[in-house]
Copies of this chain bind each other. A is one copy, B any other.
Amino acid sequence: MRHLLILPALALVSAAPAPPKTPTDAIAASKPAEWAQIPADDLLVIDLASGKRVVVELAPQFAPVHVANIQKLAHAGYWQGANIYRVQDNYVAQWGNNDSEKPLPAGVVKVPPAEYHRALKGLKIVPLGSPDAYAPAAGFSLGWPVAYDPKRGTANLTHCYGSVGVGRGLSPDTGMGGELYAAIGHAPRHLDRNIAVVGRVVSGIENLSSLPRGTEALGFYKERTSDVPIASVKLASMMPEGERPKFEYLKEGSASFATWLRLRKNRKDDFYIRPAGGVDLCNAPVPVRPVGG
């Protein structure tokens, strides 16, 4: 019965019958024009010493100063000798230079503004259409999952599986971007609006989520010899054109996104008996794929 057990993840793209019956079908039936390519400056390519790769899409639309810092740190080779030094089960994997006090490259803002949310004004949002436990409303904008509060007039990137945030100390510290974490468990939405979310892992999250868990408090590795060494961290724009990873996301305003979201809420293929009629924001991850994929 192995091939019948539980629905495939979005990643598994199959031939699309018409009309689409599953979220996967909706992606397969989408048109190239419904996808937007992610700029090479917004792709942080993290190569582990193991040869495995993690690619993070940065979100300058939501945390411009933190993202500019991260881009400058990448150009300056700030993460040479960096490690993944913390893996806490059902929470985060975290990397950077940890305790070491490296001098900051020129132009890096030591304490950026608290870019924990932004003005709702000017954002075009496609509503999720299901209730959210953490905010008055949730939806999608500029290719990102967002929570928002029309009364306050604010919107924020949310902590979902694979979201990348900036480690910080106690306020007024906001984290300069040298220590980053990715969520590797159930969405830690309670961190929303308390930390700068700067992006999401678009490829290779399994290379973080499958790492051994740290045994110290907060999942820090006990011995430095347990740290997972990072070979290099580059922006895709720093790589030769031919070597750059390229990704695109399905525009939330597209017809295929609407179909995909409707089918995420209403699974009714041969396997499903009762469609939920709803979905939570972090269980509807914006479809991202290699360009032309």
Contacts and interface: CB of A to CB of B under 8 A. Distances in A.
Contacts of A190: 264, 267, 272, 276, 279, 283
Number of copies: 2
Contacts of A94: 5-6
Contacts of A181: 5-6
B9 A179 contact: no
Interface in A250-270: 264, 267, 270
Contacts of A5: 86, 94, 167-169, 179, 181, 218
A90 B186 CA distance: 9
Interface in A106-127: 114, 116
A91 B12 CA distance: 13
Interface string A44-56: 0000000000000
Nearest to A274: B193
A81 interface: no
B167 A1 contact: yes
Interface residues of A, number: 75
A12 B88 CA distance: 11
Contacts of A229: none
A239 interface: no
A171 to B, nearest CB: 6
Contacts of A167: 1, 5-6
A237 interface: no
Nearest to A156: B274
Interface stretch (A30-38, A72-80, A129-137): A129-137
A153 to B, nearest CB: 15
Interface in A80-113: 85-92, 94, 98-99
Given A5-B181, A8-B218, A186-B282, 18 more contacts: A5-B86, A5-B169, A5-B218, A6-B218, A9-B218, A89-B205, A90-B209, A131-B131, A132-B133, A133-B133, A133-B278, A134-B278, A134-B280, A160-B186, A185-B209, A189-B279, A194-B267, A194-B274
